[in-house]
């Protein structure tokens, strides 16, 4: 009679896992060489620098050949990353403990007159990346050049296996409540999330429109939020749309990985029929987002042309567009999952950044113009 598997703790790996990880790293040079040989000539890489392609190949190999536990073990926690990033960039860092075992990590100066609340990606199993923070610092500095000064707060939420759905949703609800209580006006607040963070932002919208009884209610907004930006939002945890098979060999995160990570979140649902639209927006029934136009003024949804999630992102973008006609859905030609972040991961020259980066800067700026 087989015994049930004992749940692992966060980043818990045994000797076998560590040896396997070392073996993967030893294979990395050969994998990089092969990846460069077989992908550099592909159409979506034509305009990319060698170091960007090198970064993409490396990320793709590591994500696809290591377990969640190995990735957690080898990756700094969100708090450790934040401390190291601030030290490297000469910034002091400001942390607000907001309850629900969550905190807001301010990028640059904390300010409450205009705020971007940022929910990071990582499949609900990985911490925030330093290059995503570098991207938002770049946006912040570009906005300053336009005379727009904003505070950017990264939500440090709890990930699997320390917590699962709906804990991150509770923490995001608390973050919004914290900012409103601190004096941030809804019309001066923009929410953004990439991948799982985009999923989380959509969970928040769903919670306001269709409240779950085991999740705190978001305080009534005195005005609509200024904007929601969804970057490659993860809206299909089953990885079964056509773009997963079409683009799975190109993208940094393939369907097998996405399905594995997604199964961990789906397993936490206690009422799948009611909760499925929260964690998989592509499964939401017709009219699910009706009323969102009373909650937010503007929505921008972005995807990459060769990313696995493309079809799901576009589908949900069109769902939102039915409720907010001005919703913009932008697919970057040749773009990968969270393509703009990959530029910053590779430390790409600023003159070679992809098209989504300036588009996002301009979109955010337009939302904060008085």
SS3 content of the chain, % helix, strand, coil (to 5): 50, 15, 40
Does residue 2 lie within any of the structural domains? no
**Stretch 91-114: mean pLDDT:** 97
Question: Do 96 and 69 lie in a common domain?
Answer: no
Q: Which pLDDT value is given to residue 369?
A: 82
Does residue 93 lie within any of the structural domains? yes
Structural domain that includes position 148: 76-368
Does residue 260 lie within any of the structural domains? yes
Long-range own/partner contacts, residues 21-24 (CB < 8 A, 24 or more apart)? 21/66, 21/70, 21/73, 21/74, 24/62, 24/65, 24/66, 24/70
Q: Which token pair is 165? A: 């759905």
Q: Which pLDDT value is given to residue 360?
A: 99
pLDDT digits (tens, 9 = 90+) for 329-348: 999 999 999 999 999 999 99
Question: Do 115 and 128 lie in a common domain?
Answer: yes
Would you call 292 helix, strand, or coil by DSSP?
A: helix
Longest Cα separation, the chain: 68
Per-residue pLDDT band at 370 (split at 50, 70, 90): low
User: Would you list the DSSP string of 3-68?
Assistant: PPPPPPPTT---HHHHHHHHHHHHHHHHHHHHHHHHHTTSGGGTTS-HHHHHHHHHHHHHHHHS-H
Q: Which pLDDT value is given to residue 2?
A: 36
Which of 58, 74, 90 is where one domain is finished? Answer: 74
Per-residue pLDDT band at 122 (split at 50, 70, 90): very high
Tell me the average pLDDT of the chain: 95
Q: Domain with 110 in it: what CATH number?
A: 3.40.50.1820
Per-residue pLDDT band at 1 (split at 50, 70, 90): very low
Q: How many domains does the chain have?
A: 2
Residue at token pair 């932002």:
201
Question: Do 58 and 80 lie in a common domain?
Answer: no
Does residue 352 lie within any of the structural domains? yes
Question: Do 191 and 104 lie in a common domain?
Answer: yes
User: Would you list the DSSP string of 244-256?
Assistant: HHHHTTTSSS-HH
Per-residue pLDDT band at 171 (split at 50, 70, 90): very high
**Stretch 14-43: mean pLDDT:** 95
Sort strands 151-156 and 115-119 into parallel, antiparallel or unpaired. Answer: parallel
């Amino acid at each position: 009679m087989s015994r049930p598997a004992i749940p692992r703790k966060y980043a818990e790996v045994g000797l076998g896992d560590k040896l396997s990880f070392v073996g993967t790293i030893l294979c990395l040079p050969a994998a990089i060489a092969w990846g460069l040989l077989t992908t550099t000539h592909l159409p979506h890489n034509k305009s990319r620098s060698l170091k960007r392609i090198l970064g993409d190949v490396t990320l793709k190999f590591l994500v696809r050949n290591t377990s969640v536990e190995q990735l957690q073990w080898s990756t700094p926690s969100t708090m450790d990353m934040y401390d190291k990033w601030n030290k490297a960039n000469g910034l002091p860092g400001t942390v607000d403990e907001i309850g629900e075992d969550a905190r807001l990590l301010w990028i640059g100066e904390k300010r409450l007159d205009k705020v971007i609340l940022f929910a990071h990606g990582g499949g609900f199993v990985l911490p925030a990346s330093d290059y995503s923070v570098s991207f938002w610092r770049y946006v912040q500095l570009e906005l300053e050049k336009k005379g727009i000064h904003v505070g950017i707060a990264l939500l440090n939420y709890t990930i699997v296996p320390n917590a699962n759905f709906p804990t991150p949703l509770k923490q995001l609800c608390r973050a919004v409540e914290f900012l409103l209580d601190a004096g941030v006006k809804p019309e001066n607040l923009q929410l953004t999330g990439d991948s799982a963070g985009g999923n989380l932002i959509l969970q928040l919208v769903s919670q306001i429109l269709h409240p779950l009884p085991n999740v705190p209610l978001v305080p009534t907004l005195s005005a609509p939020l200024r904007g929601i930006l969804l970057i490659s939002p993860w809206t299909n945890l089953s990885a079964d749309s056509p773009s997963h098979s079409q683009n799975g060999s190109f993208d940094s995160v393939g369907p097998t990985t996405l399905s594995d990570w997604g199964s961990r979140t789906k397993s936490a649902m206690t009422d799948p029929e009611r909760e499925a639209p929260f964690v998989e927006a592509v499964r939401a029934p017709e009219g699910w987002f009706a009323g969102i136009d009373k909650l937010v003024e503007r929505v921008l949804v972005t995807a990459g042309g060769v990313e696995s999630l493309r079809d799901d992102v576009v589908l949900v973008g069109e769902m939102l567009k039915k409720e907010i006609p001005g919703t913009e859905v932008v697919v970057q030609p040749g773009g990968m999952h969270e393509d703009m972040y990959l530029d910053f991961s590779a430390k790409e020259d600023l003159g070679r950044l992809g098209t989504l980066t300036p588009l996002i800067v301009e979109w955010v700026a337009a939302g904060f113009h008085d």
